Amino acid sequence: MNTSTVSAVPQGYREVGEGRFRENVGAGLADFAVGRIIEHRPGRTVTETDHVLNLALTGNVAPIHSDIQFCEHLGKDRVLVCGMVTLGIVMGASVRSTSGLTTANLALDKLRLEHPVFVGDTLYAQTEITEARQSQSRPEHGIVTCKISGFNQHNTRVITFQRTFFVPADAPSVRDTTNY
């Protein structure tokens, strides 16, 4: 195929030069329609390294997360992955397509860990836009609130929370200014 005859900009990209495209990261205020649901891919499998590094970084010494003998005495055959690992993976999966251009996280609310997560589980994220408006005090920003849910490989919801963050009111100008 002769690339000089291809004229359409691929979805999710913008043209930055002749025959040259840059992937879009994040979104601007106009991209957030209340009620819209975004399914984030790819999924992410929780590894032993994810779990152990989180325990080491946070100093979490709860035996439910680190002591298989303790867990076996409770009738469980494996340790439970710390909820902060679950939160990090699910929230992280949502960033590229929603808040990749954010300048600030404003709130995390209504966090619920609804189902246990174990090493080897694969997590998928979903974002539902619940509010999107221009900031009154900083009109160059929009304020977006969304409900983020994480599901395991069996489509069981494992976590849900509300997140509020800034996005640019004018994403194209921010992309031009920052080279994103």
Please write the tens of the pLDDT for every residue from 114-123.
Answer: 999 999 999 9
What is the per-residue pLDDT for 159?
A: 98
What is the per-residue pLDDT for 136?
A: 96
Mean pLDDT of 57-85: 94
Using only C-alpha atoms, the chain has a radius of gyration, in whole angstroms, of 20
Residues paired with 157 in a beta bridge: 151
Distance of alpha carbon 162 from alpha carbon 180, whole angstroms: 27
Give the residue carrying structure tokens 């005090």: 137
What is the per-residue pLDDT for 12?
A: 86
Both tokens of residue 26?
A: 């994040």
Distance of alpha carbon 62 from alpha carbon 79, whole angstroms: 10
Q: Pick from 17, 171, 9: which is nearest to 97 by CA?
A: 171
Concatenated DSSP letters for 25-56? Answer: -S--GGG--TT-EEEEEEEEE--HHHHHHHHH
What is the per-residue pLDDT for 4?
A: 53
Domains of the chain: 32-47+81-168 (3.10.129.10)
Both tokens of residue 69?
A: 């003998």
Mean pLDDT of 162-179: 94
Task: Output the average pLDDT for the chain.
Answer: 93
How do residues 6-59 score in pLDDT, each as one tens digit?
568 888 898 989 999 999 899 999 999 999 999 999 999 999 999 999 999 999
What is the per-residue pLDDT for 11?
A: 86
Q: What is the DSSP letter of 72?
A: H
